[in-house]
Structure 1
């Protein structure tokens, strides 16, 4: 996402080098207020240099990192140094972080010394526990709320921890030790599995990993309240990060019930226990991709596809060694994101990414009056446990993000408004925002599309249907259309936003009523001031009533929806 600021302040720029086992990631981010919570990325590049592979001979013997590999690393570092200079990143704001492959290299000291001599940067090696802690903070940065177990699968090692971060809290809770590190990274597991298959000792390898995972879990001392919450939810949520797990997630995405899956980013992707453990199907898909019997899977390189059998072994062992896992969330956050997130002030960590991302493009600084109107357009009272539980779905924070974007596409031509709004969370203004759930991306996109009348071209119909299939309840789909129509009504009265001078133009109040046939009706009372033309407003209000027509219900006349009546009166009445 583009950072909307008057001028970029170099003091807030951060250059990060994440030197992992399977590749080296270079990035420049800005922590400039007010968008520092989402850590906008200004530049990123990955050098596909495997420091893990470079340390093994063809016979499997451990060897030093060779000169050719070191030269390739230094070349990529020099390129990034030039890039940092072009972006005016202060030298003191550039950090090089190294993990397992560098930490355990035979010639680690020489390797780091040559980097220092070439570019002048020290290489900070993260100890095992610190690597786990930083990785866990990367996961914490990836979603608005976290509560469960965390695993980070790198190339050389994997870390297990637990994490709790409430959406309205500044605190991020995790074990004091950070995490337990185990030598079962994707690349390391691939090598171990290949050796075990040759020797016929796969069962022994499986038992070794299971025992290590069980021991790691016991050492974490999971808080009683976290275990209790997991028991009530039917199992833990398992949050996964790291390239090996992301590869697994992309294969699962390709096999999702919603096909083609409409959201390309892995961060925030969710699957249930059954889908996560479909190892045979995942291995078959990866094998087909490798053999080119099928098209190459999206975001799955040959290297990642080749590692799938090893990851499948780890996934199966996790199912045996860990307590019941109910659902799995995939996270993009890793060492880079964790390092940046750790540097943020506590109150910034507590901010919600979706709200932070939309504030810079809002028509007005304070969205509260708009959000108040949207909330007033739905009947008050609790809906907990009801089939139409709109209160738990359309939270104030979600409505604030929606309100911030109500007028964003007004500059587009009428032909583009609805379709640009529909794509806003996947290839538009919010596509690159870090920390957003897939469910939230679908809700905001569909609400904005409805706000602009849902007039999309045939080429976008399948995409819209795919987004709708990610919404769990048909009642929620109906409410999306209703709130979109209400937003269009509000925007017609306040085309430049609500100010102190005009905030009395419109008042809304919603309640449940009965029509002459004793059928339930959502009654929306709208009071308008004298400077609002009642006839013109009535035409706009009719658009809200149309959502209540049975032919517009979800599933048609026999489907899901509410009848809607809009009662328009003058404020003075």
Structure 2
């Protein structure tokens, strides 16, 4: 399968992501590499990207170049963001770093950065109307979405690292954030989606302290009340204390306090009951073509991508048969995934289905829905208990899930080659 490399040269970090493109809006993430170079350190006062930061970035990009060449990846998209836009020497540094990488770095405008980030979220999460924001180190982008189509993009210099460096206390940061956000058009969207490194770290922290066993935060929904409480907690701690928290780490300890404050202001402004976290952003959006307007097609795209990667014909007929009997799309998905594992030679495809969903990122679904699918799979061979639901962060009726598990087991054994 063709591999594509996308490099995000950000204000706070540089990251290479390698993807296998499967269709116009779906792919498999092969892996990624990241380094906190902090190219944007000092550029906000009209300054230049510092020589020591440039030298560090050259070293990082030389390593990326080696990886790309060894894997034979020719389609590479290096994208320079806010640090390059703000710095007096941004164009000069981009040319210099391009020589280290062996590919031309393109400095993209804030509007394009916002659109790419929004595209990554739209095509990997099932919602129709809402606001998507990406909180980076140097800037904040927001996109209004109606009917799964992107509208106006708003771009503000409210990145978490910039705010942490320029402003010294919570009150001054909050004032700066409100000065920009209160210029936004009035709307109370049904969904607010956030992406960016600090957003993901906050999600991981909340899942860990909540005892939730998922390894990825994509589609995880955080109550706004929890965000407000977390803001108070973080601002009562110093960087060393925050860096020791699970899921945060020392590198994020510098920025997570300003990040949670921005997030709190956003959920307050939009009166959002929850924040939905997206692990897909600008890099993922760069390998997509356009918004997927159909929610059912969104779901099918990612199911088909999974079966294609596993080398199995997509068992949509089994999906539909299971959905018809149970009245549940999620039971249909459990049948689909279990059947793919069965055809791939797994001795226990139902346990494989459960473990895959817990350990891996599966786009196209909210985390609560993936939790139910995982439990339907687990319930085929094991008696479900309340603690199984708690470990995945949901409530549910054990008997109802167990009934769906029986149907999934019966149909997969009755139709080992699919329903014909």
1:158: how far off? Answer: 0.8
Question: In the superposition, relative to structure 1, how do residues 373 and 280 fare at CA in structure 2: closer, same or farther (>3 Å)?
Answer: closer
1:307 to 248, 252, 255: 255
Aligned partners of 2:304 and 2:314 also within 8 Å = no
Question: In the superposition, relative to structure 1, how do residues 484 and 344 fare at CA in structure 2: closer, same or farther (>3 Å)?
Answer: same
2:16 to 12, 18, 26: 26
Question: In the superposition, relative to structure 1, how do residues 375 and 142 fare at CA in structure 2: closer, same or farther (>3 Å)?
Answer: closer
Select between 260-269 and 38-47 the one with higher mean Cα deviation: 38-47
2:41 pairs with 1:53: yes
**Residues 411-560 of structure 1 aligned to structure 2 (within 5 Å):** 411-413=345-347, 419-427=351-359, 431-451=360-380, 453-454=381-382, 464-467=388-391, 469-470=393-394, 472-474=395-397, 477-499=398-420
2:30 pairs with 1:42: yes
2:91 to 87, 104, 109: 109
Q: Give the secondary-structure state (helix, strand or coil) at the position aligned to 1:40.
A: strand
Between the aligned partners of 2:228 and 2:372, the Cα distance in structure 1 is 28
Select between 335-344 and 261-270 the one with higher mean Cα deviation: 335-344
1:327 to 247, 250, 274: 274
Provide, for residues 477-514 of structure 1, a one-character-per-residue CA deviation record: whole Å limited to 9, x for no partner. 32221121122222332233334xxxxxxxxxxxxxxx
Question: In the superposition, relative to structure 1, how do residues 118 and 302 fare at CA in structure 2: closer, same or farther (>3 Å)?
Answer: closer
Between the aligned partners of 1:417 and 1:296, the Cα distance in structure 2 is 38
Question: In the superposition, relative to structure 1, how do residues 288 and 264 fare at CA in structure 2: closer, same or farther (>3 Å)?
Answer: farther
Aligned partners of 2:194 and 2:278 also within 8 Å = yes
2:22 pairs with 1:73: no
Q: Give the secondary-structure state (helix, strand or coil) at the position aligned to 2:274.
A: strand
Between the aligned partners of 2:231 and 2:292, the Cα distance in structure 1 is 44
Between the aligned partners of 2:46 and 2:183, the Cα distance in structure 1 is 27
Select between 37-46 and 150-159 the one with higher mean Cα deviation: 37-46
2:226 pairs with 1:275: yes
Q: Partner of 1:180 in structure 2? A: 154
1:325: how far off? Answer: 1.3
Q: Higher relative CO (CA 8 A, sep ≥ 6), structure 1 or 2? A: 2
Provide, for residues 158-205 of structure 1, a one-character-per-residue CA deviation record: whole Å limited to 9, x for no partner. 12221135xxxxxx4122x4x1111111001112331xx4xxxx6455
**Residues 216-255 of structure 1 aligned to structure 2 (within 5 Å):** 216-218=184-186, 230=189, 236-255=190-209
Q: Give the secondary-structure state (helix, strand or coil) at the position aligned to 2:225.
A: helix
Alignment coverage as a number of residue pairs: 416
Q: Give the secondary-structure state (helix, strand or coil) at the position aligned to 1:341.
A: coil
Question: In the superposition, relative to structure 1, how do residues 366 and 249 fare at CA in structure 2: closer, same or farther (>3 Å)?
Answer: closer
Q: Partner of 2:115 in structure 1? A: 133
2:177 pairs with 1:193: no
Between the aligned partners of 2:204 and 2:320, the Cα distance in structure 1 is 39
Between the aligned partners of 1:490 and 1:203, the Cα distance in structure 2 is 59
Question: In the superposition, relative to structure 1, how do residues 238 and 88 fare at CA in structure 2: closer, same or farther (>3 Å)?
Answer: same
1:243: how far off? Answer: 1.7
Gaps of 5+ in 2: none
Between the aligned partners of 1:23 and 1:94, the Cα distance in structure 2 is 18
Q: Give the secondary-structure state (helix, strand or coil) at the position aligned to 1:267.
A: coil
Q: Give the secondary-structure state (helix, strand or coil) at the position aligned to 1:377.
A: helix
Q: Give the secondary-structure state (helix, strand or coil) at the position aligned to 1:132.
A: helix
Question: In the superposition, relative to structure 1, how do residues 364 and 127 fare at CA in structure 2: closer, same or farther (>3 Å)?
Answer: closer
1:82: how far off? Answer: 2.3
Between the aligned partners of 1:376 and 1:135, the Cα distance in structure 2 is 36
**Residues 403-414 of structure 1 aligned to structure 2 (within 5 Å):** 403-410=335-342, 411-413=345-347
Q: Give the secondary-structure state (helix, strand or coil) at the position aligned to 1:163.
A: strand
2:216 pairs with 1:265: yes
1:214 to 182, 193, 202: 182
1:207: how far off? Answer: 3.2
Between the aligned partners of 1:466 and 1:290, the Cα distance in structure 2 is 31
Question: In the superposition, relative to structure 1, how do residues 495 and 27 fare at CA in structure 2: closer, same or farther (>3 Å)?
Answer: same
Between the aligned partners of 1:462 and 1:190, the Cα distance in structure 2 is 42
Q: TM-score if structure 1 supplies the norm length?
A: 0.65
Provide, for residues 126-153 of structure 1, a one-character-per-residue CA deviation record: whole Å limited to 9, x for no partner. 1122222222112213313342112211
Select between 180-189 and 399-408 the one with higher mean Cα deviation: 399-408
Aligned partners of 2:114 and 2:141 also within 8 Å = yes
Q: TM-score if structure 2 supplies the norm length?
A: 0.87
Between the aligned partners of 1:189 and 1:24, the Cα distance in structure 2 is 19
Q: Give the secondary-structure state (helix, strand or coil) at the position aligned to 2:379.
A: helix
Question: In the superposition, relative to structure 1, how do residues 425 and 491 fare at CA in structure 2: closer, same or farther (>3 Å)?
Answer: same
Q: Give the secondary-structure state (helix, strand or coil) at the position aligned to 1:16.
A: strand
1:331: how far off? Answer: 0.8
Gaps of 5+ in 1: 1-7, 166-171, 231-235, 379-390, 500-573
Computing the radius of gyration from Cα coordinates, the structure with the larger value is 1
